[in-house]
Every structure is written in C-alpha cells, then in structure tokens.
C-alpha cells in the first residue's frame, strides 16, 4: 500500500508544486485547500490529486478533514504544513484581526494538523512532517510582525516536535523559503519587491518547484536521519 500524504494549501502556489512532487515520489496525495473552489477543481482535473476543503486554523474542522482523508485513502504518514496567509501592515496600523488571523492559520494550522496525524504516525513507527516556515520568520520583515511571529513559531514548533517524534521514526523538519514567484509575493507592491529582489544574491525570485524538491527529499525514506532541521531555500538572501 502506498503512503498517504496531505499537503495543506496544496492546490495553489508552492503547495501545488509540493503536491505534484510527492505524487512523483509515489505517495497518494490529498491536497487540502480553504477557499478557492474553482482553482481546486481545475487542480484535481489536471493532476488527478484529490482536493479536500477545510480551514486548517479551525481545530475541529481539521480533525474532521483528516478523518475524511483517512477514510478515503488510508492512514496519513506524511504531512506538509504549507497553508499560509499574509495580512501585511506596519504595527501601528495592524488590526488585532490581522494579527490573530495570521497566527491562527499559519501557526495554529501546524498544531491542528499535528494533533490529527502525529499520534497515528507515532503508533505506526514512521512519519514525515515538513513545516513551511519563511526567511521572514528567520530574519524578520518590515510590515510583517504577524507573519514573522507565526513563521518563527513554526521553526520552534518543528524543533520541539522533532524531539518527541525521533524515537518513533517520525521526522519533523522545516523549509524556510525566500521570495518565490507565487501570487503571495506578486501582491507585494512592485517598488518594494524590486528592492527585495536586488538583495537576493542569486538575482531572481525562486520557483515553487525549487521548494518542492527540498520538501520531497525531507519526505523520502532517505531522509530518516534528518530531523529538527531547517533547510533554507532563498537564493542566498539570508545565511546563518
Ligand atoms: N525597512 C525600513 N523602512 C521601510 C521598509 C524596510 N524594509 N519598507 C518600507 N519602509 C519605509 C518606507 O521607506 C516608507 O518610509 P517613508 O515614508 O519615510 O518613505 C515607510 O516605511 C512606509 O512604507 P510604505 O509606503 O510601503 O508603507 P505602507 O503602509 O503603504 O505599506 C507595507 C507598508 C504593507 C509593509 C509595505 O511596505 C509592504 O508590503 N512591504 C513588503 C512586506 C513583505 O515583504 N511581505 C512579504 C510578503 S511575501 C511572503 O511573506 C512570503 C515569504 O515567506 C517570503
């Protein structure tokens, strides 16, 4: 029986590339999404990968969504916590809602998905969890206290859960993407984005597939000795 993987936010952007990379690895993939039905339908038609709709920031909805995936496809062995949103703005103009929504979805989503899947992985003695952090969680970013805090939290979450999973064959790692040519980055005002790209040593935005290849490695059998690590894929924009 093939292993089952869930990719949250898996029908668009970086998540879409990750869903395809895990399918290429031979996994049966379920792509979660929260809002865009039209895009999810087109994604399933184009790829044959089933899409499941729920809000990963909603604890009960996540438990129910994962239960549905398991009823349809079997136990989940691989989770990629990719779903994320931005609500950028300088702190003095940021609303509590914009703070809370980003923490709820980006960081809360990781907790909710882990609660739904980690106990099963632990019992079966094998699992892969990859959390998508961000360069902006490592280095901070003007106008993103909410997003930087959530992504930074993801890096701490990863290292803590990795310690709990290690002796049960469950690895937990993070990828910290830099600026990738997705809709999320396209929403950054052009003059601001130009200045950011000028600071990327490789001289360009990254591609979603370049993140997906890193995720695929961390989800593979070969990566069993890699846990609690963060792989930065950012064109050299932030090194440490
Ligand atoms: N450092 C210092 N000052 C900065 C700055 C920076 N990085 N960016 C902007 N400023 C300054 C501006 O120069 C300006 O100052 P002056 O008025 O003195 O000229 C002031 O801050 C206000 O700037 P804006 O006109 O841009 O202010 P705004 O309120 O219209 O917009 C903002 C603020 C929404 C934060 C906007 O600057 C912005 O969108 N910035 C980009 C944020 C960003 O990088 N988001 C990443 C999204 S993609 C992502 O998050 C994926 C990932 O993981 C990488």
Q: Whose CA is nearest to atom 33 of ligand 1?
A: 89
Write out the residue range of the structural domain in which residue 55 sits: 4-230
% of the chain residues with pLDDT over 70: 100
193 Cβ closer than 6 Å to some ligand 1 atom? no
- Token pair of 148, please? 């930087």
**pLDDT one-digit tens code per residue, 45-93:** 999 999 999 999 999 999 999 999 999 999 999 999 999 999 999 999 9
* Closest to 179 in 3D by CA, of 159, 158, 164, 194: 194
Number of H helices, E strands in the chain: 10, 7
Number of domains in the chain: 1
142 C-beta closer than 6 A to ligand 1: yes
Region of 27 please: left (phi>0), alpha (psi -120 to 50) or beta. beta
Pocket mutation for ligand 1, best pick of 81, 84, 86, 88 (most atoms within 8 Å of C-beta): 88
Q: Residue 218 domain-assigned? A: yes
Q: What is the DSSP letter of 109?
A: H
Examine residue 240 and state whether it is found in any structural domain, yes or no: no
**Residue 177: beta bridge partners?**
233
Q: Is 152 in the pocket of ligand 1 (CB under 6 A)?
A: no
Ligand 1 pocket, 188 CB below 6 A?
yes
Pair of tokens at residue 60 = 């009960």
| pLDDT tens-digit readout, 195-221 | 999 999 999 999 999 999 999 999 999
CATH number at residue 184: 3.40.50.720
pTM given for the model? 0.96
86 lines ligand 1 (CB under 6 A): yes
Closest ligand 1 atom, residue 195 Cα: 7
Residue 84 domain-assigned (yes or no) = yes
- Which positions are annotated as active-site residues? 147
Q: What is the pLDDT of residues 136-178, one digit of tens each?
A: 999 999 999 999 999 999 999 999 999 999 999 999 999 999 9
Q: Which atom of ligand 1 is nearest to the CA of 137?
A: 53
pLDDT of res. 240: 76
Query: Quick one: which H or E segment has residue 183?
Result: helix 183-186
Structural domain includes residue 75: yes
């Amino acid at each position: 029986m093939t292993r089952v993987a869930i990719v949250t936010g898996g029908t668009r952007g970086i998540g879409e590339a990750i869903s395809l990379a895990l399918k290429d690895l031979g996994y049966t993939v379920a792509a979660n999404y929260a809002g865009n039905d039209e895009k999810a339908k087109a994604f399933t038609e184009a790829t044959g990968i089933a899409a499941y709709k729920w809000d990963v920031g909603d604890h009960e909805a996540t438990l129910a969504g994962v239960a549905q995936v398991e009823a349809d496809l079997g136990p989940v062995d691989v989770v990629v916590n990719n779903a994320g949103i931005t609500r950028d703005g300088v702190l003095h103009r940021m609303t509590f809602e914009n703070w809370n929504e980003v923490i709820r979805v980006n960081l809360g989503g990781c907790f909710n998905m882990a609660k739904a899947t980690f106990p099963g992985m632990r019992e079966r003695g094998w699992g892969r969890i990859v959390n998508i952090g961000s360069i902006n969680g490592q280095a901070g970013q003007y106008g993103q206290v909410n997003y930087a805090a959530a992504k930074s939290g993801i890096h701490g979450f990863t290292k803590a859960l990795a310690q709990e999973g290690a002796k049960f064959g469950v690895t937990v790692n993070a990828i910290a993407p830099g600026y990738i040519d997705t809709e999320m980055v396209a929403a950054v005002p052009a003059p601001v984005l130009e200045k950011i790209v000028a600071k990327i040593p490789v001289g360009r935005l990254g591609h979603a597939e370049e993140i997906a290849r890193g995720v695929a490695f961390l989800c593979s059998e070969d990566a069993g000795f890699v846990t609690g690590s963060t792989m930065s894929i950012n064109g050299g924009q932030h090194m440490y």
